[in-house]
Chains A and B, each alone.
Chain A
Amino acid sequence: MSGSLRRRDVLLAGAAFASVSLSGRSDARVYGGGAPWTPGIAPGLADVPQTIPGGDFKFFTTAEAAFIDAAVARLIPADHLGAGAKEAGVTVFLDRQLAGPYGRAERWYMQGPWHDGTKSQGYQSRLSPAELYRAAIRFIDQHCRQQLGGKGFAELSTDQQDSVLKEIEKGKLKIADIGPHAVEIEGAKGPDGDTFFAVLMQNTIEGFFSDPIYGGNRDMVGWKLIGFPGARYDYRPYVERHGEKLDLPPVGVRGRPEWKDQS
């Protein structure tokens, strides 16, 4: 479908009458004589995100995926209320996020020198999110094997997993103490375990509650759990329906599971 028309093409189409490139190669543009949009090109199509394709992991190894499956299943477990993070596809969500610009910290300021800093100065690790996950999983698995009878995190009982996660959450483990399999970068002190835990919990919530196009929130289980109707854009009929449980079925930016995905 014409959804493949990229945003840049629209800009270039617009450029024919509305804007002039300052040079052959630069993205810099001059606009004048009207707003640069082209009648006849369906608005929005240029920028619609596509549903991520399924299939193999792009970032995690099989062992790493097993770790994440186990960890997110403790953070948001399946229970009498319904699916948890694992069933919602959070591992696939995380895999695609870490394989992409977020995982590479593409928008982050990642120049040294590096110092630990204070809590109020925020994240100061030289590890991108993808590197942080890789290092932390390796470290935690190794820690578990040494302390808990040779078993990796995913093989532990759920009670044991909970106590390991609590240790990490409280910052008792430092990811830099990784031992022989450390991600060794000169000058790296490594983030505290609680830094990794905060990132993991935030990303798990993101995967559980974001639009299903990103691979998590499968069948909108996160939204159904709480009663969020999703990507709707007109609630005018409901403004004054005070105190009423609306039970609107959720909608994603590409529709609902029962609608045929047109991508």
Chain B
Amino acid sequence: MVKKLPSVDVVLVGFGWTAAMVAEELTAEGLNVVALERGAWRDTPTDFAVTFAQDELRYMWRRSLFQEPARQTLTFRNSMDQTALPMRHLGSFLPATGVGGAGIHWNGQTWRFLPTDFVARSHNEARYGTLPEHMTIQDWGVTYDELEPFYDKFEYLCGISGRAGNIKGTIQDGGNPFEGARARDYPNPPLRMVYGPTLFAAAARETGHKPFPCPAANMSRTYTNPLGVTLAPCTYCGFCEKFGCGNYSKSSPQTTILPVLMRRDNFELRTQCEVLRVNRDSSGKRATSVTYIDTEGREFEQPAEMIFLCAFAQHNVHLLLLSGIGKPYDPKSGEGVIGRNYAYQVVSSVDVFFDDKIINPFVGAGALGVGIDEYNGDNFDHGGLGFIGGGYLACWNTHGRPIELHPVPKGTPKWGGKWKEAVAKSYLRTATISTHGAVMSYRTNYLDLDPTYRDVHGRPLLRLTFDFGENEHRLSDYLTDRAAEIAKAMKPREIHAKKREGHYSVVPYQTTHNTGGAAMGSDPRTSFVNRYLQSWDVSNLFVMGSTVFPQNAGYNPTGTIGALTYAATDAIKSKYLKNPGPMVQA
């Protein structure tokens, strides 16, 4: 029997970054907000204190903060003629379970997308002509300039450490000259720089590039954010991404919002409560409640005036499909929106081996590094290259955790005495340049429900059909070649360029930058939500997170997720609450 609970103003599905932001914004307006999180409460002193957080096996390899595939996973295939099989353990990407979501174990690499990224279709068509027929990229329905105040707001919430490259149109020395204009500088100065990225910066400059310290959600100094929450200076411990920060130095919901939000009487968090579906009234135009299940198997119905899907990217899509909301995407006809335009990130790297330089990789932080942006987005002429889009190159120095990091030169045997010798010789003396490429969306890359496999609740698993296209391979090869040129200018003994070859695989870790499946846009035929992340069909339903990206850009997504979330809450406060209903007329 389902127990029906008293109605609330707002219910949030999932409780990571976007939910915490929405909850803070709307409780401040006086609304009653309930968050439903499938995982447990987690906080710094009890779950990743400095006395034991630096445990590589436990957190990274035994996945202690991550989603359990036994409870929820997806099935995967490269193409529609294959049978999708379950991703039985995590690999390519690492979603979270628990309060704070992936905002606990992210790197903190907090970028803005380029102005041209938001008009990817119209801009590229105008400059390069017709795009391939199967490429389904589209404009976002919102512009960089419209999002700028909300990027700013998220960066100040987080206390991003960085150096501006463009303040109100004036290019700033030492910053990223390609970034869109920003109203003001970052709230904190850049992190102090370790050796590897410093060598990269010199080589990049020598080869005609404009290197800059990458924007980081790792604190370069003590910082008190606009909510009055204080973060501590980063200690460069090298247990950052894939870990919780034991030192209150990495921005997360816990370190920026929860100390304020948890004290508000009009907020309630229910943990280990997993939402099964979103319910609508008989018209289908209004979401009435969510049904959730607790760990004892009891079901509850929570009615609400507004419902926000704030789960991880593809989980929001799964919930929409299971709830029968929105038209499921059909790759044959190209019609429908739920599951359409799934995209990802294409990454590669170049290892740079020195004889005479000690890099000390273990002095690190999740977003500690130097980048260049000459080859991102449309910052360069793609004429004759055969692809659009791009990505940044960066020499990160995030960690020296040896199970994960033990680079060896090309041609080294994979085990045995020669391998051991190469690991021992290379560990302290190797830097890595990473490339971080955009992935376009395509007619045949999509999400739907699997016909065979079921989750722990007996629901169909989500099915992912995805592969890199020609655009991604050309783009990634181009970036890798540029990285190799700079690597050589660092004057190493040798380099090892590791191109991204062959089909996409769920096995090796790449990035947790899964995007799309319920895109935003200005046309309900090709998007599920409008520019305020409001469903075209069901106007009191909102979808947060990278789920709404129509394709992915050459940057880490969290900065843009933050900006889109604050843009949505701003519109909800100024428009929707005064006059509930569609904020954009289709």
Contacts and interface: CB of A to CB of B under 8 A. Distances in A.
Contacts of A23: 294, 296, 298
B74 to A, nearest CB: 9
Interface string B272-293: 1100000000000000000000
Contact of A27 (B40, B44, B233): B40
B424 A81 contact: yes
B63 A107 contact: yes
Contact of B51 (A35, A48, A79, A225): A48
Interface residues of A, number: 86
B416 A231 contact: no
Interface stretch (B115-123, B381-389, B501-509): B501-509
B49 A47 contact: yes
Given A28-B272, A31-B268, A36 B41 contact: yes
B403 A34 contact: no
Interface stretch (B146-154, B171-179, B258-266): B258-266
B240 to A, nearest CB: 11
Given A117-B85, A234-B235, A242-B194, A31 B52 contact: no
Given A29-B272, A48-B52, A108-B70, A236 B78 contact: no
User: Chain B: interface secondary structure?
Assistant: loop
A137 B394 CA distance: 43
Contacts of A1: none
Given A122-B506, A222-B402, A228-B362, A34 B46 contact: no
B400 A228 contact: yes
Given A31-B268, A239-B193, A242-B195, A44 B63 contact: no
Contacts of B269: 30-32
B563 to A, nearest CB: 27
Interface stretch (A59-67, A148-156, A173-181, A203-211): A203-211
B270 A22 contact: yes
Contacts of B88: 105, 108-110, 122-124
A35 B406 CA distance: 40
A79 B420 contact: yes
B528 interface: no
Contact of A238 (B55, B86, B360): B360
B91 interface: yes
A121 B76 CA distance: 7
Interface in B407-443: 414-417, 419-421, 423-424, 427-428
B452 interface: yes
B7 interface: no
A253 interface: yes
Contacts of B76: 120-121
Given A22-B294, A27-B40, A120 B504 contact: yes
B55 A211 contact: yes
Contacts of A76: 415-416, 419-420
Nearest to B368: A239
Interface string B77-98: 1100011011111010000000
Contact of A110 (B50, B70, B358): B70
A225 to B, nearest CB: 5
Contacts of A27: 40, 272, 294-296
Given A228-B401, A239-B193, 15 more contacts: A11-B41, A22-B270, A27-B294, A27-B295, A35-B262, A43-B44, A44-B49, A47-B47, A75-B415, A107-B63, A109-B89, A120-B505, A236-B235, A238-B363, A239-B194
26 contacts: A10-B46, A19-B41, A22-B294, A23-B294, A23-B298, A29-B272, A31-B41, A31-B270, A32-B269, A36-B43, A43-B45, A47-B47, A76-B419, A79-B420, A101-B62, A105-B89, A109-B453, A113-B452, A121-B85, A213-B55, A226-B424, A226-B427, A232-B237, A233-B235, A233-B239, A244-B358
Interface of B: 40-41, 43-47, 49-58, 61-63, 68-70, 73, 76-78, 82-83, 85-89, 91, 192-195, 198, 233, 235-239, 246-247, 258-259, 262-263, 265, 267-273, 294-296, 298, 357-358, 360, 362-363, 400-403, 406, 414-417, 419-421, 423-424, 427-428, 452-454, 502-507
Interface of A: 7, 10-11, 19, 22-23, 25-37, 43-44, 46-49, 74-77, 79, 81, 84, 101-102, 105-111, 113, 115, 117-124, 162, 165, 169, 201, 205-206, 209-211, 213-214, 222-223, 225-236, 238-246, 253
Chain A to chain B: the 7 pairs with minimum beta-carbon distance, closest first: A43-B45, A44-B49, A28-B294, A231-B54, A120-B505, A226-B427, A210-B57
